Amino acid sequence: MSDRLLDVDGIDAAYGQSRILRDLSLSVDRGEVVSLVGRNGAGKTTTLRAILGILTPTAGTITFDGEDITGYPDYETVNRGIRYVPEERQAFPDLTVDENLRMGQLKSGGEGTLSLDEVFELFPRLADRRSYNGSHLSGGEQQMLVIARALLGRTKLLLLDEPTEGLAPQIVEDVIEVVETISEEGVTILLVEQNVRAAMAVADRHYVINKGQNVFDGTTPELREAEDVMERHLGVG
């Protein structure tokens, strides 16, 4: 089995007439945490949508686990173990934490990456709140809930879209810890972030994109050294 789990090779993608991604490439090896960073509107979410199959690339290929999945619909990519946690944390507001999690279990027929007991062990905050309704959780708790729910499915690759967005700094720390914990559980993660500090805290390697194109890739120390990239494309001076 090769180390490579995901290979996005030179994809273009558009919404109608507006071309968003141009010759974009990235790869993720098994067990890695890789970040995709860039300014607002750079095309990060669009890249995740193309991988998941919500949007079909007009050029290039996407290979997952050795199989060409370019243009596969989302139910096919989900079946193969790709899970997307969107920016708008979609916990069911009227269901309890427990019920929300069981929805994730349903999809996997009980053979998820984690069991419900393991989820409660890894996320004690959710265990404490298992009878709370989704609508009564804080932003950070909702983020944990949707990540945990994805892990109750058979997840080989977790696509996390700006998990720290809108969270207070202390809660950002908690989310970073959660990402670290699930990575230690062996889950491979592609993390989209605008918060480059958060991305550097958890990811092994980074892809910086601008206007739908690759502008940099490298390790955390390499990105830290690339001051021009940090300033021009990430607004970090």
Asked if 210 and 38 touch (Cβ cutoff 8 Å), the reply is yes
Least distance CB 24 / ligand ATP (angstroms): 11
Residue 154 CB partners (closer than 8 Å, separation 6+): 81, 108, 111, 112, 113
CA angle 170, 122, 92 (to 5 degrees): 75
By CB under 6 A, is residue 45 in contact with ligand ATP? yes
- DSSP letter string, 198-224: HHHHH-SEEEEEETTEEEEEEEHHHHH
- Number of chain positions touching ligand ATP (CB under 6 A): 12
Q: Does 194 bind ligand ATP (CB under 6 A)?
A: yes
Tokens for 195?
A: 């918060």
77 contributes a contact to ligand ATP by CB under 6 A: no
* Given 35, 46, 143, 195, the residue binding ligand ATP (CB under 6 A): 46
Using CB under 6 A as the binding rule, the residues of this chain from 2 to 41 that contact ligand ATP are 15, 18, 20, 38, 40-41
Cα separation, 70 vs 8, whole angstroms? 9
Between 31 and 139, CB nearer to ligand ATP: 139
**Cα–Cα distance for residue pair 5/27, rounded to 1 Å:** 8
Quote the least distance from Cβ 212 to ligand ATP, whole Å: 7
Q: Which of 5, 7, 26, 44 binds ligand ATP (CB under 6 A)?
A: 44
Does 163 bind ligand ATP (CB under 6 A)? Our answer is no
210 counts as binding ligand ATP under rule CB under 6 A? no
Note the residues at the interface with ligand ATP (CB under 6 A).
Answer: 15, 18, 20, 38, 40-46, 194
